[in-house]
Structure formats: structure tokens, C-alpha cells
């Protein structure tokens, strides 16, 4: 018996597993598994969504014109070179489709975001990883891993799940060390959260050449994960290519309306950023005081590691948290089996997680 033949590489893909959202039998749950905004979406975005619900029979604007204008104004970028997608996941996949294929290599760092190898394999390309130093992207190691087959280099900055980032100078050094025919994709999904003076999301690098793209998302600080909305800032030739291969209506009308309202709601964005600036360091300090290892995350989450704690493994901690209605993310799929990733939620949620981990470790008075 024969059956339809699937393209090579596709059956090698380990499907992406999203954060869990439910615990059977639990009442109220605390979901800190997907880096969603702690304070939900902007009220202005929810209102725009409600308004457009009356016009669901209308096709969306295939150019995302109003949304791109809003992004251009708020982020200080040229709207003509912004390409919107159904989540930045779609942009990552379009970039792989356009610039890599069988025999080509797609490079990223060891604990980089899993959509990079998935999207590379989906087009028959080979994902290649470079080692990290202290769970942080290593520019020298990335450059050393470049071969004549390398077509794309994905750098999540800050990275998910480690939360670590490299400075603007280091990103520039990476770009300067790459051949001009390799596309550097800077995935700045968490850029709005970063409070570090030496960080830059990459706008100037995009504008300064032909081989750098920056991707952004509405799923994190804007709290619109359910809408599926992301964008890329591209050199004109790359924008032209992505427009040719994307679906004509790849971003739905509700996402465009909610996204434009969210990006213009500067007060709400500032509030979410301030919330994170308070509760990220608080959470980090509390977990360090419990004797846990933790990376220096610049995003809206922490990576907590349980190695060297004998029976108190990440798996056991995850089970204990679940029993108490708290969902975090296991990290075995990222090659970090001793670690858990915990999103920064509300104050009450963070206090509950810390208390529960203290009880797990037997540290409660």
C-alpha cells in the first residue's frame, strides 16, 4: 500500500508543545506557563475587538495599513517596511520558506526558541545550534558555527526560555561578522520589557543594511496572544519577498483592530512595563533566597534551575506546584530538564508561587 509522500524533513519535526492551561480537578488555577501579559490586554484593545465584532462578514485590510501606521508611529519605524503576520511565528515560518531549503542550514543558539528548528525543518533545511556561555548567546560561537550552507541566523534577544540577552554592541559585532548573504533575524519578542541601558531591539541594524530583520509580537507586553499578531521590520527587498508569499489576508480583522488600539495605548503599556520592573526582580530575589539558581532574565519570566538539590528536582517541583493549582513550564524540550520557566504574573500570583516553592523546599516557618 502506498500513501501520499510527505516532503523530507517534515516527519523529523518534534511538534511544538504550548504551555498547559488546565489542571484536571483543580478549581482556580494560576497560569504562568506561556509568558502572557500579567495584566491582560489593554482595555482599548478589548473595546476595538468588541466594535469589530459587528463586521465579521467583512474581509480584513490585506495591507494592514492602519495597524502598520500605528506601529510606525509608536515604534519609530518606517511603516512601509513593516510586514504583519499571524503571530511572529508566521513571520519566522515565512522567512524560512523564502530564504532556506533542502541542503541549507538555519543557525540559532543552543537554548534558542523552538520555532526556529521547527520552521527550518518544515522547509527541508537543517537546524544547527551553537553553544552558549552561561545560558547566553555567544557571538563567537555563533560565528564559528557558520558554514557555506548557512542561510539564516535567528537570535532571540532577550531569549526565551533563558531570559538572557546580548548588548547592542554584541549584536552589531555578530552582524559585522556575518557574510552579507546570511539573513540575521533578531527576534525581539520581549523588547518592550527590557530595562537595560546597553540593550537595543535592532531598528538601526535593520535600517543600516540589507540582511537584518527584526521581529516583534503582540503576544507578550500587549497581552494579545489569543489574537495571533506579530510584525517584522525589514529591508525593502525582504519586505517585498515576504509580501509575495504571505496569504493575502494573513492577519484577521479583529487582530488588526485590537493591535492598533493596543500599540497606541501607551499608558497601559507603561503600566505593564512598570509592573514587570517591580515583580521580576522581586521574584528573582525571593527564589535566590530559597537557594534556587536563576538566570538574569530581562523578559517577563524567570528560568529557575533545581540542579544540585537532590530529590528536589524540577519535575518534583512542577508536580507540587500543579497540586496547588499552579501551571509553569517544564523545560526538557529545550534541553534544560533541571529547570522551570515561570512567567511574571500579578502580585498575588507571584506571592503564591514563591510561598508554594518555599513549602516544596521545606523552607516555610
Does 89 bind ligand PLP (CB under 6 A)? Our answer is yes
Q: Counting contacts by CB under 6 A, is residue 41 touching ligand PLP?
A: no
d(CA 307, CA 77): 43
- Is the Cβ–Cβ distance between 216 and 231 less than 8 Å? yes
Q: Is residue 223 close enough to count as binding ligand PLP by CB under 6 A?
A: no
User: Of 185-204, which residues contact ligand PLP (CB under 6 A)?
Assistant: 187, 189
Give the single-character DSSP code of 220. Answer: S
Pick 31 or 220: Cβ nearer ligand PLP: 220
Q: How far is the CB of 170 from ligand PLP (least distance, A)?
A: 17
DSSP state, residue 147? -
* Closest listed residue to residue 91, CA positions, set 202, 247, 294, 283: 247
Q: Residue 100 or residue 232: which is nearer to ligand PLP going by CB? A: 232
Helix (H, G, I), strand (E, B) or coil at 154: strand
Least distance between ligand PLP and beta carbon 218 (Å): 7
Q: Is 136 in the site for ligand PLP (CB under 6 A)?
A: no
b or e along 114-125 (b: 16 or more beta carbons within 10 Å of the residue's beta carbon)?
bbbbbbbbbbbb
293-318 exposure pattern, b = at least 16 Cβ within 10 A, e = fewer: bbbbbbbbbbbbbbeebeebebeebb
Task: Choose between 239 and 354: whose C-beta lies nearer to ligand PLP.
Answer: 239
Q: How far is CA 116 from CA 155, 158, 169, 239, in A?
A: 9, 15, 24, 19
Please, what is the minimum distance in Å from the beta carbon of residue 158 to ligand PLP?
Answer: 8
Task: Provide the sign of the torsion angle of the four alpha carbons 270, 272, 274, 277, taken in this order.
Answer: negative
Instruction: Provide the β-strand partners of residue 175.
Output: none
Q: What is the DSSP letter of 70?
A: H
Write out the binding residues for ligand PLP, residues 153-172 only, by CB under 6 A: 156, 160
Residue 109-128 contact track with ligand PLP, rule CB under 6 A, x = bound: ----x---------------
Residue 105 touching ligand PLP (CB under 6 A)? no
Tell me how far apart the alpha carbons of residues 165 and 188 are, in angstroms, rounded to a whole number. 10
Interface segment toward ligand PLP; rule CB under 6 A; list 76-84, 197-205, 218-226, 345-353: 218-226
Nearer to ligand PLP, 60 or 356 (CB): 60
For position 81 contacting ligand PLP by CB under 6 A, the verdict is: no
Q: Based on the number of CB atoms within 10 Å of its own CB, is 104 exposed (0-12), middle (13-18) or buried (19 or more)?
A: middle
Q: Which range binds ligand PLP by CB under 6 A, 65-73, 83-91, 313-321, 351-359?
A: 83-91
Q: Does 295 bind ligand PLP (CB under 6 A)?
A: no
Q: Which is nearer to ligand PLP, 60 or 223 (CB)?
A: 223
Query: For residue 287, what is the enclosing H or E element?
Result: helix 266-289
Q: Which of 33, 42, 88, 136 binds ligand PLP (CB under 6 A)?
A: 88
Nearest approach, Cβ of 312 to ligand PLP (angstroms)? 27
Number of residues lying near ligand PLP (CB under 6 A) = 14
Residue 4 Cβ vs ligand PLP, minimum distance, rounded to whole Å: 28
Among 60, 202, 225, 259, binds ligand PLP (CB under 6 A): 225
For the chain, give the number of residues.
Answer: 365
94 Cβ contact partners less than 8 Å away, ≥ 6 residues apart = 85, 242, 245, 246
Query: In the complex, what is the shortest distance from the CB of residue 137 to ligand PLP, in angstroms, rounded to a whole number?
Result: 12
Stretch that binds ligand PLP, among 95-103, 215-223, 250-258, 283-291 (CB under 6 A): 215-223
Rounded Cα distance, 291 and 309, in Å: 9
- 132 near ligand PLP, judged by CB under 6 A: no
Q: Is 212 helix (H, G, I), strand (E, B) or coil?
A: strand
Give least dist CB 115 to ligand PLP, A.
7
Residues making contact with ligand PLP (CB under 6 A): 35, 87-89, 113, 156, 160, 187, 189, 217, 219-220, 225, 230
Amino acid at each position: 500500500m502506498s500513501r501520499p509522500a510527505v516532503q523530507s524533513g517534515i516527519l523529523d519535526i518534534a511538534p511544538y508543545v504550548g504551555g498547559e492551561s488546565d489542571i484536571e480537578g483543580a478549581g482556580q488555577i494560576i497560569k504562568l506557563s506561556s509568558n502572557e501579559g500579567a495584566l491582560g490586554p489593554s482595555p482599548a484593545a478589548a473595546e476595538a475587538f468588541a466594535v469589530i465584532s459587528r463586521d465579521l462578514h467583512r474581509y480584513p485590510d490585506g495591507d494592514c495599513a492602519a495597524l502598520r501606521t500605528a506601529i510606525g508611529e509608536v515604534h519609530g519605524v518606517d511603516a512601509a517596511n513593516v510586514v504583519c503576520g499571524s503571530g511572529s511565528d508566521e513571520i519566522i515560518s515565512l522567512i524560512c520558506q523564502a530564504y532556506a531549503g533542502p541542503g541549507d542550514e538555519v543557525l540559532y543558539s543552543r537554548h534558542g526558541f523552538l520555532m526556529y528548528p521547527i520552521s527550518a525543518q518544515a522547509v527541508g533545511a537543517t537546524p544547527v545550534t551553537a553553544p552558549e556561555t552561561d545560558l547566553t548567546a555567544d557571538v563567537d560561537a555563533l560565528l564559528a558555527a557558520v558554514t557555506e550552507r548557512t542561510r539564516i541566523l535567528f537570535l532571540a534577544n532577550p531569549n526565551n526560555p533563558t531570559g538572557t540577552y546580548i548588548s547592542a554592541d554584541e549584536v552589531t559585532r555578530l552582524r559585522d561578522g556575518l557574510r552579507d548573504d546570511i539573513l540575521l533575524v533578531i527576534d525581539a519578542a520581549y523588547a518592550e520589557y527590557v530595562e537595560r541601558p546597553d540593550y537595543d531591539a535592532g531598528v538601526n541594524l535593520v535600517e543600516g543594511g540589507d540582511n537584518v530583520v527584526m521581529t516583534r509580537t503582540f503576544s507578550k507586553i500587549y497581552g494579545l496572544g489569543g489574537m495571533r499578531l506579530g510584525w517584522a521590520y525589514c529591508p525593502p527587498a525582504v519586505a517585498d519577498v515576504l509580501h509575495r508569499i504571505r496569504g493575502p489576508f494573513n492577519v484577521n480583522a479583529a487582530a488588526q483592530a485590537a493591535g492598533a488600539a493596543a500599540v497606541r495605548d501607551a499608558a497601559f503599556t507603561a503600566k505593564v512595563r512598570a509592573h514587570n520592573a517591580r515583580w521580576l526582580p522581586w521574584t528573582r530575589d525571593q527564589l535566590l533566597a530559597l537557594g534556587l539558581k536563576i538566570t538574569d532574565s530581562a523578559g517577563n519570566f524567570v528560568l529557575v534551575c533545581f540542579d544540585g538539590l537532590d530529590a528536589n528536582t524540577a519535575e518534583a517541583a512542577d508536580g507540587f506546584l500543579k497540586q496547588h493549582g499552579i501551571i509553569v513550564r517544564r523545560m526538557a524540550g529545550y534541553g534544560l530538564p533541571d529547570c522551570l520557566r515561570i512567567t511574571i504574573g500579578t502580585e498575588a500570583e507571584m506571592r503564591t508561587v514563591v510561598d508554594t516553592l518555599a513549602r516544596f523546599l521545606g523552607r516555610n516557618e
